[in-house]
């Protein structure tokens, strides 16, 4: 009997020690996020440096052996870049080719002209989603700003009300729809299926975009401030052309002239949609052709061309061939445009690489496991946890990409063991949270303010609210889909 009591006492002691260590790791995780925000907001370090410093500090304070820390970070960096490097690079090339040829603007103008006055907000939403797929938000905005200005003048509406559906389209694909680089980061970290994520991302993103874009633009124009903006009649911001040149893009007259070239619209649409189509084929390969039997080779081919880097490579080659022919580019011009595509993504690549290192440290130190156990102990849905973490980082730091990188770094090590939650839905929840409430610490906030000539309060009432509606709408859509799939 005495032996049993001693054994029970030791068992209680061991449990207490385990709980104490788990709580300590939770504090380490919270401290890491706080340190990251402090380094970015106060010390003004580049996010990549801040993430790397935070990863090293977490490894040390969590008790990892010092000789294991460099290898753990290197493994995380390599694993992540192995998934996203080619996608990011090829996507940048495709986006630059479409931008420099005027193809992106041509597609947007064609959509607007095809939908008519009543369908204008929906055309602007679709335009933002299509053009936003291969390029970053800022580049997409620069490309589409001349069309927004032109449509606003023709329709008699204010520019911000005209442009809100386009902003919603650009933003929703940034967070939810691969092969956009930000969404691909979460896909790679959570080991989600790209084709399923695209399908579910569109299923969730379209209603959220419609709510934040056309619907909120209508509410704003009638009840909040649209009439005051319209009566003011803003001039086109002079910084528009300067920003465009900073991105290496053509100026407004050049883009509009290129937009009328014959064959440019179908060629650009083909380049935009080809990778999505091929990725879908890869996801459906096992359903179309059995992996064993007489059609096994076709199955293998579809899986091959449906791999995101291969699909994007095909799209880039098609874009080079068609756009060079339509725009009369020489080989040297096409080579120069391809080479220029990589410089703007260097900073993003470094952020993503260091996020991979942080993710590995979180896994190897046990901090990620402690975070998930806490969520399970309070019965918090993993989808809600992902959204809350991403929204918190976005609110504090301002960058949607950093918010996704940090959140996936925390949750990715245990994404497969979260109570049967679909990794595709985890991508959508994280992406939705990363869009939450853009405000004064987000460079995109000031870009919107300057481009549309808004006051600070007007930018908060339009862009910040739009992003919040997108984020909450994306979360609700994700939870609804999760309930249906259960």
- Which helix (H) or strand (E) segment holds residue 54: the answer is helix 47-61
Q: What pLDDT, on a 0 to 100 scale, did the predictor assign at position 365?
A: 81
Contact of 73 with 60, CB cutoff 8 Å: no
**What confidence score (pLDDT) does residue 63 get?**
85
Per-residue pLDDT at 260: 53
Closest CA to 414 of 29, 59, 40, 60: 29
Structure-model confidence comparison of residues 57 and 348, the more confident one: 57
For the segment 132-142, what is each residue's pLDDT rounded down to a tens digit? 877 677 767 76
- CB-CB neighbours of 76 under 10 Å: 26
- pTM exceeding 0.85: no
Q: What is the pLDDT of residues 361-383, one digit of tens each?
A: 877 887 766 766 665 566 678 89
Q: What is the pLDDT, as a whole number, of residue 249?
A: 44
| Positive or negative: CA dihedral 174, 379, 367, 191 | negative
More confident residue, 379 or 426: 426
- Cα–Cα distance for residue pair 357/363, rounded to 1 Å: 10
As given in the structure block, the two tokens for residue 384 are 């809600």
Predicted local confidence at residue 155, as pLDDT: 72
Judged on CB neighbours under 10 Å (0-12, 13-18, 19+), 198 is buried
Rounded distance between C-alpha atoms, residue 51 and residue 39, angstroms:
9
Does residue 247 register a pLDDT over 70?
Answer: no
Q: Which of 181, 85, 185 is nearest to 409 (CA)?
A: 185
Dig out the tokens for 320 from the structure: 């080079």
Nearest to 99 by CA among 295, 288, 252: 252
CA pair distance 39, 191, nearest whole angstrom:
30
DSSP state of 67: G
CA angle, 307 then 181 then 137, to 5°:
140
Pull the structure tokens for residue 474: 């994306």
The winner for highest mean pLDDT among 200-204, 338-342, 384-388, 389-393 is 200-204
Could you give the C-alpha distances from 289 to 279, 284, 295, 335, 462, in angstroms and in order?
Answer: 15, 9, 6, 38, 48
The pLDDT of residue 94 is: 85
Say which DSSP state 417 is in: G
> Where does the pLDDT of residue 4 fall: very low under 50, low under 70, confident under 90, or very high at 90 and above?
very low
The per-residue pLDDT for range 159-205, each reduced to its tens digit, is: 888 899 999 999 999 889 887 777 888 888 888 888 889 899 999 99
DSSP 163-179: HHHHHHHHHHHHHHSTT
Distance CA 99, CA 105 (A): 8
288 vs 476: which has the higher pLDDT: 476
Say what the pLDDT of residue 235 is.
42
CB 112 within 8 A of CB 127: yes
Q: Which pLDDT score is estimated for 140? A: 74
- The answer to whether the beta carbons of residues 438 and 464 sit under 8 Å apart is yes
Higher pLDDT, 76 or 233: 76
pLDDT the model gives residue 369: 67
CA distance linking residue 101 with residue 247, whole number of Å: 14
Percentage of residues of the chain with pLDDT beyond 90: 15
Residue 22 parent element (H or E): helix 2-41
Q: Is 369 exposed, middle or buried (0-12, 13-18, 19+ CB in 10 A)?
A: middle
Give pLDDT, residue 455: 80
φ/ψ region of 366 (left if φ > 0, alpha if ψ in -120 to 50, else beta) reads left
Confidence of residue 322 (pLDDT cuts 50, 70, 90): very high
- Give alpha helix (H) positions in 211-345: 216-219, 226-232, 239-246, 252-258, 264-283, 285-288, 296-305, 308-327, 331-340
Tell me the HSE value of 253 on the side-chain side, using a 13 A CA sphere: 0
The pLDDT assigned to 317 comes to 94
Per-residue pLDDT of 262-305, as tens digits, reads 688 888 888 888 887 888 888 788 777 777 777 788 888 888 99
How far is it, in rounded angstroms, from Cα 294 to Cα 285? 14
Q: How far is CA 350 from CA 173, 334, 371, in A?
A: 22, 26, 26
Average pLDDT, the chain: 78
Average pLDDT for 126-133: 83
Question: Cα–chain-centroid distance for residue 151?
Answer: 27
């Amino acid at each position: 009997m005495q032996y049993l009591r001693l054994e029970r006492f030791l068992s209680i002691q061991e449990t207490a020690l385990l709980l104490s260590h788990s709580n300590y790791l939770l504090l380490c995780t919270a401290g890491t996020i706080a340190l990251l925000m402090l380094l970015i907001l106060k010390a003004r370090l580049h996010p990549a440096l801040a993430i790397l410093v935070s990863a090293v500090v977490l490894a040390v304070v969590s008790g990892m052996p010092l000789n294991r820390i460099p290898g753990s970070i290197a493994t995380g960096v390599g694993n992540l870049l192995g998934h996203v490097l080619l996608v990011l690079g090829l996507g940048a090339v495709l986006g630059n080719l479409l931008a420099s040829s005027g193809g992106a603007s041509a597609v947007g103008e064609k959509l607007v002209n095809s939908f008519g006055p009543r369908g204008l907000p929906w055309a602007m939403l679709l335009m933002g989603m299509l053009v936003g797929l291969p390029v970053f938000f800022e580049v997409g905005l620069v490309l589409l700003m001349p069309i927004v200005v032109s449509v606003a003048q023709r329709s008699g509406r204010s520019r911000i009300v005209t442009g809100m559906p386009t902003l919603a389209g650009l933003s929703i694909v940034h967070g939810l729809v691969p092969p956009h680089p930000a969404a691909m980061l979460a896909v790679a970290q959570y080991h989600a299926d790209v084709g399923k994520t695209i399908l579910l991302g569109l299923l969730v993103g379209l209603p959220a975009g419609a709510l934040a874009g056309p619907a909120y633009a209508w509410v704003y124009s009638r009840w909040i401030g649209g009439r005051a903006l319209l009566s003011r009649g803003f001039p086109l911001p002079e910084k528009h052309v300067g920003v465009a040149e900073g991105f290496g893009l053509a100026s407004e007259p050049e883009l509009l002239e290129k937009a009328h070239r014959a064959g440019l619209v179908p060629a650009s649409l083909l380049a935009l949609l080809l990778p999505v189509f091929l990725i879908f084929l890869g996801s459906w390969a096992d359903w179309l052709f059995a992996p064993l039997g007489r059609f096994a080779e076709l199955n293998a081919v579809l899986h091959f061309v449906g791999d995101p880097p291969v699909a994007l490579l095909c799209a880039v080659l098609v874009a080079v061939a068609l756009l060079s022919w339509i725009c009369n580019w020489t080989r040297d011009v096409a080579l120069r445009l391809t080479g220029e595509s990589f410089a703007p993504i260097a900073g993003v690549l470094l952020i993503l690489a260091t996020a991979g290192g942080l993710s590995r440290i979180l896994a190897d130190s046990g901090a990620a496991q402690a975070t998930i156990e806490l969520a399970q102990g309070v019965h918090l849905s993993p989808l809600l946890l992902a959204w809350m973490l991403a929204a918190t980082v976005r609110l504090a730091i301002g960058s949607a990409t950093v918010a996704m990188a940090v959140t996936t770094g925390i949750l990715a090590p245990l994404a497969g063991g979260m109570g049967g939650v679909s990794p595709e839905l985890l991508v959508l929840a994280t992406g939705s949270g990363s869009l939450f409430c853009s405000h004064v610490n987000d460079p995109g906030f000031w870009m919107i303010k300057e481009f549309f000539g808004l006051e600070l309060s007007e930018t908060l009432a339009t862009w910040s609210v739009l992003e919040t509606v997108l984020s909450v709408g994306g979360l609700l859509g994700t939870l609804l889909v999760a309930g249906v799939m259960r």
